[in-house]
Amino acid sequence: MTACTGFLYYLGSLKDNNIDFNLLLVLRLVQGAFYGLAQMVLLGTLIIDTVEASHRTEANYSVTWFGRFALALGSLVALIIYHQLNDGIVLLGSCFCSIAAMLLVKSVNFPFRAPEETIRVFSLDRFILKQGGWLSVTLVSSTALIGLMLSISFSANFFYLLMFGFVLALLAERFAFANADLKSEGVTGLLLIGVAMLLMLTRTQNIVNLITPTFMGLGIGLIGSRFLLFFIKLSKHCQRGTSQTTFLLSWEFGLGLGLFIGYSLLNQNKDLILEVGIVLTVFTLLIYHFYVHSWYVKHRNR
């Protein structure tokens, strides 16, 4: 991942601008693959192996929250560096963060635990939680909404307030949803995201620019936290790592899908993106409320 980012910096520093677009696609593909691999190993294996069994859910919960804040903080810092310096420094900063992460991982002693079962050359067992299909569909749809919004959001204030929404989500989980119905967080999160998009589409007041990212952060924070626990409860014995990997793949795929639709298919047309987002929000809310949640209750194993 670091090598790919460094090579992108090198290509950007060349005076010749006739860089093969296919080469850039391959670099991004490899970069994304190794990013996903690093995340899967950290979230699904190393985190689990370094904590006591009774604290593994808390560990997974904490790590995913760090990831959410990193989504906003990384974008915020990149925007600031880009406007103050240039995009090359952004890539160098990304390389620095990757190297720092490698050094931090190297500093931790991870116990080696060999699996007892027969090892297959190729298997999806550690990557896809087969019984979590409907949850994955719902989570992909939810995070695609955030990806759509990111395709039209380029201000530092948006990411400041997105992080503020994450903080509100943490507080809401602790105080407002501590004893609430399991369905309430998912429904509330989708409603908040839908309201945020509707306000952006129909209102032009300055207050909307403050409310929208806050609602988006609060909404996706509630959804992400609750669905993480849902994936864990759907997993069987020794499938915790698989559940975390499936959660991660669904989360990242949804973000990428939303960005792809916003940039490539809708050409960053703000009104069209918001209209599509509202329709997708309503669709996701309906299938979750009327089918997915009851399906989850019937199929959970913990």
Report the pLDDT value the prediction gives residue 118, as an integer from 0 to 100: 59
Report the pLDDT value the prediction gives residue 105, as an integer from 0 to 100: 83
Query: Of the candidates 110, 141, 167, which is a domain's last residue?
Result: 110
Query: Of the candidates 110, 144, 164, which is a domain's last residue?
Result: 110
Backbone φ/ψ region at 3: left (φ over 0), alpha (ψ -120 to 50), beta: alpha
**Residue at 47: amino acid letter:** I
Lowest-pLDDT choice from 57-61, 191-195, 291-295: 57-61
Going by C-alpha positions, the residue among 218, 81, 84, 216 that lies closest to residue 150 is 216
Report the pLDDT value the prediction gives residue 116, as an integer from 0 to 100: 54
Band of pLDDT at residue 130, cut at 50, 70 and 90? confident
Give residue 294's domain range: 127-302
Distance CA 62, CA 48 (A): 12
Report the pLDDT value the prediction gives residue 49, as an integer from 0 to 100: 72
In the chain, the number of structural domains is 2
Comparison of pLDDT for 125 and 210, the residue scoring more: 210
pLDDT over threshold 70, residue 111 = no
Comparison of pLDDT for 101 and 123, the residue scoring more: 101
In a domain? residue 116: no
Q: Indicate whether 81 and 160 sit together in one domain.
A: no
**DSSP for 83-131?**
HHS-HHHHHHHHHHHHHHHHHHHHTS-PPP---SSPPPSS-STTT--GG
Q: Indicate whether 75 and 163 sit together in one domain.
A: no
Q: Indicate whether 268 and 242 sit together in one domain.
A: yes
Distance CA 7, CA 204 (A): 42
Report the pLDDT value the prediction gives residue 124, as an integer from 0 to 100: 59
Q: Name the CA dihedral angle for 235, 167, 68, 207, rounded to a multiple of 10 degrees.
A: 130
The mean per-residue pLDDT over the stretch 175-198 comes to 92
Dihedral sign, Cα of residue 85, residue 91, residue 93, residue 96: negative
Report the pLDDT value the prediction gives residue 119, as an integer from 0 to 100: 59
Lowest-pLDDT choice from 50-54, 164-168, 213-217, 219-223: 50-54
194-205 pLDDT tens trace: 999 999 999 889
203-229 pLDDT tens trace: 889 999 999 999 999 999 999 999 999
The mean per-residue pLDDT over the stretch 170-198 comes to 92
pLDDT over threshold 90, residue 271 = yes
Report the pLDDT value the prediction gives residue 115, as an integer from 0 to 100: 55
pLDDT over threshold 80, residue 16 = no
Report the pLDDT value the prediction gives residue 62, as an integer from 0 to 100: 87
Q: Indicate whether 46 and 97 sit together in one domain.
A: yes
In a domain? residue 119: no
Query: Of the candidates 110, 136, 161, which is a domain's last residue?
Result: 110
In a domain? residue 37: yes
Q: Indicate whether 104 and 135 sit together in one domain.
A: no
Comparison of pLDDT for 290 and 112, the residue scoring more: 290
229-259 pLDDT tens trace: 999 898 887 778 888 889 999 999 999 999 9
Residues in the chain: 302
For position 194, which CATH number holds? 1.20.1250.20
